[in-house]
Structure 1
Amino acid sequence: MMKNDRSQPAWELLLLIATVVSIFAPVSGYSPFMQVRHGTVARSVEEANSTAAPVLANPYIAPLVALKNKGSKDEFATSQGKDVFEVVYQWKIIDFLYPNLQSRNNAIRTREFIPENNLPLGVDRFRNRIFITTPRWNPGVPATLSYLPLPVQDPSVPLIPYPDWSFHTKPKNPDCSKLMSVYRIFVDECDRLWVLDAGVIDTLTNLQQICPPKLLAFNLHTDELLFTYVLPPEQVKQDSLHTNVVVDIRDGQCEDAFAYVADVWRYGITVFSLREFKSWRTTNYLYNPSPSASDYNYLDLNFQWSDGVFGMTLSPVQNDGERMLFYHPMSSFNEFQVATSVLQNETIWQNFGLAKAFQPIGSRGKTGQSSTSGLARNNVQFFTLVQQSGVGCWDLTKPYNRNNLGVIEKNLDKLTFPNDLKVDREPKQFVWVISNKLPVFLYSKLDYSEINFRVLSADVQSAVLNTVCDPRNPANLAHKQEPECEF
């Protein structure tokens, strides 16, 4: 929640009024990459602190009169009828590559390794390796970040701890300079692997913050640890859970990167500046979950999650130098945006923030909850559809409504609870997805005689071919009726 403003300057009051008017007026629904351009926000500390009110971007949504109509169907515009995703790796149960059989047997005997307590969660790809995370949900997870080779020789091989076993600490007598519990990772354009270590263990049984949350980065050519940054205590709330990270780099300036870290349980995004080697926490009510989207049904399970801000995607840099962060809470049907210049301006967050810079852009409709998302070079965003066992897509040049949202593939057997998604940076881009039956793992019991975990991939170009997400196809400017929005 934002702080109460007891001395709000006049320009901020005018800004609030003007923004409210603009939100409730019909808007074009266009993204910044179409011919109709939108306004921009302050791009520097000097602009943000000036007495002139910054001009905010308009949301890319259909007129709200359409959003208030009820009785719509939940399907997206198009769905592929063919199998798009190929299974790359799959497992009935997770195993790790130990130095020798005796080491593995000893780990099982001492219960440092309990195979059924391991679940793969995060994924990313760099050249001839795929990286996978295994957070310490329960006791018995021996390594929390691993890799596997590409191309695949055996689709069910044990995970290889990254960069090696020595970087993984044990919950008993922990060394917090090492890896404790990694949720997600991010390969940047400078060939670095960013690692988000939440520092928590036993998330399901007895949550303990054993080590402070931290960011690490590795050189993917040498596997050398480049730096570790520990989040300051004042930026970590009680019961915080840091679960996702994206990295913002402009014009190849590798040392001027910003990382955006999502706190899914305490509803914040922490911004880390590599150049300044410091961070600050940002808050907004649009980071919060929606009550109507907090009820889930998966197979025969019904459960409630109040997960906040989670999925994040960076737009391309526009001609004016601005870049948008598209994001959504896990328990939400809606997509939101904020200009990264607002997030990167620490001065704003030392005061009261710039609340109206955060805006809804559209709805995925009922059962449209999504965990993570990624953007390809053709300006197509891919996103998971966890309740639909599928992967959706959106061409950023088109309005964000369900006439322009496509489904790449739905498959309950293959994409059973798609939990993480990345788009790699290879010359021929692929979408990578982990499906892991997480609700069954959490609330029931997995059947270890069948395949439970999969890493899947799809060629970006083939995935969107002949769908509404295909950049060659025009936008559908008719507004499909949406259910009433709840933010």
Structure 2
Amino acid sequence: MATLLKTFFVLTLCVADLTKVFSSQTGEIVYELAFVDYDWNYASEKQEAIRNGDYVVENNLIAGVKVYKNDVFVTVPRWRFGVPSTLNKIVHPAGRTPILRAFPSWKMNKIGDCDALQYVQSMEIDPNTGYMWIIDMGRGSPIPSKTNCPPKLVVIEISTKKIIHRYTFPSNVVSPVTNFMNDIVLDYAHGEARYAYITDTRDAKLYVYDVIRNASYFFTHETMMAQPLVPGLQDNLISAPIDGIAISADFKFVYYSPLSAHSLYAISTSVLRNESSDFAKHVINVGNKMGGSDGMVCGQQSLFYAGFEQNAVFKVNVPEKSVVSMETDTLLVSDNSSVVWVDTFGFNGTDLWFVSNKLNIFNKYRMDFSGKVKNMFIWKMNVGENSYLYRAIDRTAQSAVPGIFG
């Protein structure tokens, strides 16, 4: 560890005696929010939503973030009642704090409308096509009811806001009552996004959606199960099954980890692409991360992940056609105020974006929504490499199969 720290320099902040640690990359906080507000259609709509419980300020927290061109998209999961829109774009009204605009529309975020989005934890944007892949748990509220919608995958063309593909998961694959579809990555083959891999942080499953077959299935294994919390860290961590997922830029390996676990696991995509594979036989225990983590993502050369115990973001090298080397673990940024519970990562060019939302505090109903404290931070950091999806069409175009979506 001492050798590792020699590569960093330390900035001591005057505010609250906090310490920030950076690597040579340049990082900046793009947005910092005390609470989430929306781009309401008319002036009285917000007050009406507050009165009838459709908007409960303290129940709204940004979790997912992805960037496409100049637009920043975020999710506000319906963990609790009073979330008016679960998928949004950040907008900047003149002279006002940035707010969220329902994406693709208010109608497409309506609770109880099974054609609309009900409960979005995360999504992925393919920069090659401009398509947003959205996973929807199907529940419009935290309490299961007879009006639940089936869980689904929706693909939207960002520029036109048109739905170009929709898939409803069968109940024998994804439970409409207990699922917690959390994170998604895309696997390219023959010039197309052929597979989507999705984690389930309640039912401890790894789903596979095969676009060509328009079919889904899942794997489950003991390495996906929740692990006990380390004593003394209950305030920093939440124990839960498989959460973060990443796929290498050569589309050879998928990485995953239970939420509070230090262990990082890998599985070959050749295993995931075959529904009959013996998953247990091929799991690789890569090694230990620096801490428990939520989201993770691969660039062209590195895997990036959060470290909950350190309020930090780390990276490790990803060799081509081989699993990551944990000996190359490097700290990118650490801050005890603005890097608390890094939830989701995304890329835009060579900028790595991530959201910090203090979920561990929110989960215990201890978050201050008075407006005096900043609770959510959206960062970007130039890391000198592109997303795992960069030029994926060209890189995998041999024997291309044209027209997956039509």
TM interval, shorter chain, is 0.7 to 0.9
CA contact (8 A) 2:173 2:217 kept: yes
Offset at residue 107 of structure 1 (A): 1.2
CA contact (8 A) 2:181 2:198 kept: yes
Q: Supply the AA of the counterpart residue of 2:343.
A: N
Aligned equivalent of 1:381: 303
Where does structure 2 lack aligned partners over 5 or more consecutive residues? 11-20, 387-406
CA-atom RMSD in angstroms:
2.7
Aligned equivalent of 2:139: 200
CA contact (8 A) 1:330 1:371 kept: yes
Answer yes or no: is 1:168 the counterpart of 2:104: no
Aligned equivalent of 1:40: none
* Gap change, CA 1:176 and 1:437, over 3 Å in 2: same
Offset at residue 285 of structure 1 (A): 1.9
Match of 1:287 among 224, 227, 233: 224
The Cα offsets for residues 75-122 of structure 1, whole Å up to 9 and x where unpaired, read as 888555355431111211110001111222211121111111101101
Answer yes or no: is 1:264 the counterpart of 2:201: yes
CA contact (8 A) 1:133 1:184 kept: yes
Aligned equivalent of 2:365: 444
Aligned equivalent of 2:356: 435
2-structure distance, mates of 1:268, 1:122: 20
Aligned equivalent of 1:308: 241
What aligned pairs does 1:8-19 form with structure 2 within 5 A after superposition? none
1-structure distance, mates of 2:208, 2:95: 39
1-structure distance, mates of 2:168, 2:107: 20
Offset at residue 156 of structure 1 (A): 2.9
Aligned equivalent of 2:73: 131
Look up the SS of the partner of 1:313 in the other structure.
strand
Higher RCO, 1 vs 2 (CA within 8 Å, ≥6 residues apart): 1
Look up the SS of the partner of 1:108 in the other structure.
helix
The Cα offsets for residues 28-87 of structure 1, whole Å up to 9 and x where unpaired, read as xxxxxxxxxxxxxxxxxxxxxxxxxxxxxxxxxxxxxxxxxxxx9998885553554311
Q: Supply the AA of the counterpart residue of 2:80.
A: N
Look up the SS of the partner of 1:178 in the other structure.
coil
What aligned pairs does 1:95-114 form with structure 2 within 5 A after superposition? 95-114=37-56
CA contact (8 A) 1:373 1:383 kept: yes
Offset at residue 371 of structure 1 (A): 0.7
2-structure distance, mates of 1:406, 1:208: 45
Where does structure 1 lack aligned partners over 5 or more consecutive residues? 1-71, 464-487
1-structure distance, mates of 2:318, 2:305: 13
The Cα offsets for residues 334-386 of structure 1, whole Å up to 9 and x where unpaired, read as 111111111111233xxxx3421111111125xx1111111222x11111112
CA contact (8 A) 1:215 1:230 kept: yes
Aligned equivalent of 2:233: 297
Aligned equivalent of 2:185: 246
* Gap change, CA 1:74 and 1:326, over 3 Å in 2: farther
Aligned equivalent of 1:363: 288
How high is the TM-score relative to the length of structure 2? 0.83
Aligned equivalent of 2:316: 394
The Cα offsets for residues 377-421 of structure 1, whole Å up to 9 and x where unpaired, read as 2x1111111222110001113985654101101001111221111
What aligned pairs does 1:420-431 form with structure 2 within 5 A after superposition? 420-424=344-348, 426=349, 429-431=350-352
Larger displacement relative to structure 2 (80-89 or 110-119): 80-89
Q: Supply the AA of the counterpart residue of 2:130.
A: D
Q: Supply the AA of the counterpart residue of 2:139.
A: V
Aligned equivalent of 1:15: none
Match of 1:405 among 313, 317, 329: 329
* Gap change, CA 1:295 and 1:267, over 3 Å in 2: farther
| Greater helix content | 1
2-structure distance, mates of 1:119, 1:308: 21
* Gap change, CA 1:111 and 1:399, over 3 Å in 2: closer
CA contact (8 A) 1:384 1:421 kept: no
1-structure distance, mates of 2:122, 2:269: 21
2-structure distance, mates of 1:294, 1:263: 22
Look up the SS of the partner of 1:156 in the other structure.
coil
2-structure distance, mates of 1:262, 1:283: 10
| Greater strand content | 2
Q: Supply the AA of the counterpart residue of 1:157.
A: P
The Cα offsets for residues 130-183 of structure 1, whole Å up to 9 and x where unpaired, read as 110001111110000001259x9778311000011110122xxx1111110100
Q: Percent identity?
A: 23
Larger displacement relative to structure 2 (409-418 or 245-254): 245-254
CA contact (8 A) 1:80 1:409 kept: no
Answer yes or no: is 1:211 the counterpart of 2:211: no
Q: Supply the AA of the counterpart residue of 1:227.
A: H
Aligned residue pair count: 366
Look up the SS of the partner of 2:123 in the other structure.
strand
1-structure distance, mates of 2:145, 2:182: 15
2-structure distance, mates of 1:249, 1:400: 20
Look up the SS of the partner of 2:378 in the other structure.
strand
Aligned equivalent of 1:235: 173
* Gap change, CA 1:362 and 1:153, over 3 Å in 2: farther
CA contact (8 A) 1:417 1:438 kept: yes
CA contact (8 A) 2:310 2:334 kept: yes
1-structure distance, mates of 2:219, 2:236: 32
Offset at residue 423 of structure 1 (A): 2.4
Offset at residue 202 of structure 1 (A): 4.3
How high is the TM-score relative to the length of structure 1? 0.70
The Cα offsets for residues 185-235 of structure 1, whole Å up to 9 and x where unpaired, read as 1011322101111123543xx455822221111112211111211111001
